[in-house]
């Protein structure tokens, strides 16, 4: 397993913060969010340093917060009627990981340059915060947002309402499962390799 020592340090750090700030229970953290997914993300990012995934791109500060978003999404998925019933769950984007860009490229929703495709096919590592690594992670949620908007538009044209049944989290879950079910067909498209604690 890569970054074993760093992962061990983060587990200890997270446990200590959970004990000191939240009485040893993540539920206390969830309750402080007052049923807001955005508040919970910001609370997690402010309280737990390993969730602060921030980078620079062309002089601008970019926040991905993938792990914080997954934490909030999983909490919502488990408990949609209790403390995890977030009123603003649709404000969460898909999770910027290495697997979904691969399936988005396979489906034709995202396109890599020939240069990037060659690099990935050779198994070259993309450095953390490398321009291409940041572009992949930035374009993927935007792509999923556009897919969501198209689906909502199609539903609207049929005179129906989504009622929150379509959001970027559910699209992420669907695409992740699709990727696993179709891994053989996707073999020609390599996924990006980057070593960092934020994936």
Strands 54-57 and 60-63: antiparallel
Residues 6+ apart with CB under 8 A from 164: 89, 90
Q: Considering 74, 83, 88, 97, which one is annotated as catalytic? A: 97
Task: Calculate the CA dihedral of residues 44, 49, 51, 53 and round it to 10 degrees.
Answer: 130
**Residue 93, both tokens:** 């984007």
Cα gap 55→132, rounded to integer Å: 13
122-159 exposure pattern, b = at least 16 Cβ within 10 A, e = fewer: eeeebeeeeebbbbbbebbbebbeebbeeebeeeeeee
Cα gap 45→86, rounded to integer Å: 17
Q: Is 97 a known active-site residue?
A: yes
State the catalytic residues. Answer: 97
């Amino acid at each position: 397993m890569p970054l074993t020592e760093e992962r061990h340090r983060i587990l200890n750090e997270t446990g200590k913060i959970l004990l000191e700030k939240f009485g040893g229970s993540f539920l206390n953290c969830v309750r402080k969010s007052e049923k807001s997914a955005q508040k919970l993300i910001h609370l997690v990012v402010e309280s737990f340093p390993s969730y602060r995934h921030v980078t620079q791109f062309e002089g601008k500060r970019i926040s991905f917060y993938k792990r914080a978003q997954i934490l909030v999404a999983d909490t919502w998925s488990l408990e949609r009627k209790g403390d995890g019933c977030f009123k603003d769950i649709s404000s969460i984007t898909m999770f910027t990981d290495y697997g979904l860009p691969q399936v988005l490229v396979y489906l034709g929703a995202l396109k890599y340059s020939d240069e990037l495709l060659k690099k990935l096919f050779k198994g070259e590592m993309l450095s953390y915060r490398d321009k291409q690594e940041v572009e992949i992670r930035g374009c993927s949620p935007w792509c999923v947002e556009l897919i969501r908007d198209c689906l909502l538009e199609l539903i609207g044209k049929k005179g129906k309402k989504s009622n929150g049944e379509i959001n970027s989290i559910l699209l992420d879950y669907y695409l992740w499962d699709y990727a696993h079910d179709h891994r053989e067909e996707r073999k020609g498209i390599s996924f990006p390799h980057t070593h960092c604690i934020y994936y």
